[in-house]
Chain A
Amino acid sequence: MKLIYKKPDAITERDTTYCPGCPHGIAHRLVAELLEEMDLVKKTVIVWPVGCSVFGYYFIATDAVEAAHGRACAMATGIKRVHPESFVMTYQGDGDLASIGIAETVHAAARGERISVVYINNGNYGMTGGQMAPTTLIGQVTTTSPYGRKPELNGFPMHVPEMLAALDGPAYIARAALDSPQHIIQAKKFLKKAFTAQVKNLGFSLVELVSACPTNWKMTPVEAMERIRKEVLPVFPIGEFKVAKGVE
């Protein structure tokens, strides 16, 4: 029998801490596949966030550190500056990156830190039970926007890639989605460019992955994927927002 599909070696055997149908697992797999394909596993330090992926180091078998909530880009900066040979990436949720850690993110990008950021937009704070995030859509009900997110009260969803693309420091900025096989294949291509930007020492890179939180969205995984296509992607369109020369 021919083996045509297997778990990447960089993914461990541990039982998952994620809910059934949660796309965090897809994102982990893409990262692990790329680290292997690009021969980066043994050079990599992943800075994990506070959020559902707080235990990410259980699952991706690289050196790892666990940052304080929102501070992953600062921690990654510290590692990369003193150890430029290492491949340093962060993996962060939308609460972690776009709310409490937005300053660290924007400044790491502006400085052109040679780090790569995987940014999971699931429209809420999954880990703490589904509160409103900076990415929560207008009208979306969460545990802290029980009447739906209202612009006059909560402002508007934040588009991180579009914001960062306006800076000179980033080498690669994109948004992909994890809702369908086609989009997942595209997400991997974008992530590869982001990692390449660091390997080639071109600057800061970030890929937002539009994800789902079936548990807190109170949907089946299939419904959650449909919601991404119907409601989320029109507000958070897929695309590349900055591609420096040499990233391709």
Chain B
Amino acid sequence: MGEKVLMKGAEAIAEAAIRAGCMAFFGYPITPQNETPEYFSRRMPELGRVFLQAESEVASINMVYGAACTGTRVITTSSSPGISLMQEGFSYIANSNVPCVVVNAMRGGPGLGDIAPAQADYFQATKGGGHGDYHSIVLAPHTIQETADLMFDAFDLADKYRIMVVVLVDGLMGQMMEPVEFKEWVDVSKFKTPEWATVGQGDRKERNIITSLEILPEGLEKMNLALQEKYKKIKENEVRLEEYEMDDAEYALTAFGTVARIAKTVVDMARADGIKLGLIRPITVWPFPEKEIAKRAEQVKFFFDVEMNEGQMLEDVKLAVNGKKPVHYYGRLGGVVPTAEEIYGEFKKLLGGKE
């Protein structure tokens, strides 16, 4: 680790990706994450790497798809409306088993919405979004430091499973400044073109074909089952979460990203009042930490899920809790960020006169 530098989240994302060995960026401008492509546009040429501003998000994701087919570490970054445009590409990438990283700095929707931070693309990111039975690994950091660290993991996971990894942040994380310490540079001179890559047959015995097409239903079912097998492995091995003050907790907040960050303050406020509140913060929102939440359902009196959407992760929490304990919800919509006091107030209403 090097020294700490004060950096905007959107720029830290680019710097971390570059250090993690990202060799190409393709993207289209959209607020609130323009600092990310701008940063790439300065740094990538200096390093002899690729930066290309595409004509649209439809084009950028298909450029990413092409570069991913060569086994090159590649990224695009965007925000909600742009991510919506990319969904067809995501689906192709999934069934082609090629690695790439996509950052979504979520903003308020639906439609053009606004440019304020939101979490309303949770369903889209974790349940697929495009057509067909597929998933991407979805990482949801809650600080800029964590984002910078996870950019490295995002590329490693993408390569390990030949899958798309989404880093799901929001406009607040992109615009905020924080001290960050970056991990060591990945030595890109060690990168090799993988055996499966389509770069021209060269000396390879067989030619490579990358396609998401299989016209026979039985064949396509096989492809689907192989995908499901991969997802099963990911679920078994890659679930990540943080549990904050959960050891003796009687109540559990559940939140991800920016809200989780605020929720930590809420936990501290409750603890100062002698209330045993904890926080369960999924870091991978797909795969979702079902087992861990199920376990805590034995321990706590109720769960309190807080999000900047109409209760999207709430459904996954409820599935994990499976009726064992009540799951309450509070959320703000359209880009409104709830305050710690506000969340704590809502929590105390749930307690009623009990504490």
Give per-residue flags for A54-72: 1 if the beta carbon is below 8 A from chain B beta carbons, else 0: 1101000111111110010
Give per-residue flags for A63-88: 1 if the beta carbon is below 8 A from chain B beta carbons, else 0: 11111100100111111111101110
Interface centre among A41, A74, A86 (most CB of B within 10 A): A74
Task: Say whether A103 faces chain B, with CB atoms less than 8 Å apart.
Answer: yes
Task: Say whether A44 faces chain B, with CB atoms less than 8 Å apart.
Answer: yes
Task: Say whether B16 faces chain A, with CB atoms less than 8 Å apart.
Answer: no
Shortest distance between the CB of B141 and any CB in chain A (Å): 27
Are B198 and A45 closer than 8 Å at their CB atoms?
yes
Residue of A nearest to B59 (CB): A74
Are A57 and B50 closer than 8 Å at their CB atoms?
no
Are A63 and B66 closer than 8 Å at their CB atoms?
no
Are A71 and B211 closer than 8 Å at their CB atoms?
no
Chain B residues contacting A103 (CB-CB under 8 Å) are: 55-56, 58-59
Residue of B nearest to A107 (CB): B55
Chain A residues contacting B275 (CB-CB under 8 Å) are: none
Interface centre among A42, A47, A77, A107 (most CB of B within 10 A): A77
Chain B residues contacting A61 (CB-CB under 8 Å) are: 207
Residue of B nearest to A58 (CB): B209
Are A79 and B207 closer than 8 Å at their CB atoms?
no
Task: Say whether A43 faces chain B, with CB atoms less than 8 Å apart.
Answer: yes
Shortest distance between the CB of B168 and any CB in chain A (Å): 23
Are B211 and A86 closer than 8 Å at their CB atoms?
no
Task: Say whether B5 faces chain A, with CB atoms less than 8 Å apart.
Answer: no
Chain A residues contacting B202 (CB-CB under 8 Å) are: 42-43
Are A71 and B24 closer than 8 Å at their CB atoms?
no
Are B65 and A75 closer than 8 Å at their CB atoms?
yes
A80 to B69, CA, bound (A): 11
Are B50 and A82 closer than 8 Å at their CB atoms?
yes
Task: Say whether B283 faces chain A, with CB atoms less than 8 Å apart.
Answer: no
State whether A57 and B58 are in contact (beta carbons under 8 Å apart), knowing that A79-B66, A82-B24 are contacts in the complex.
no
A66 to B96, CA, bound (A): 9
A107 to B66, CA, bound (A): 16
Residue of A nearest to B212 (CB): A66
Chain B residues contacting A83 (CB-CB under 8 Å) are: 70, 72, 199
Q: List 9 A-B contacts (CB under 8 A).
A: A65-B96, A65-B210, A71-B65, A74-B58, A75-B66, A79-B66, A82-B74, A104-B58, A104-B59
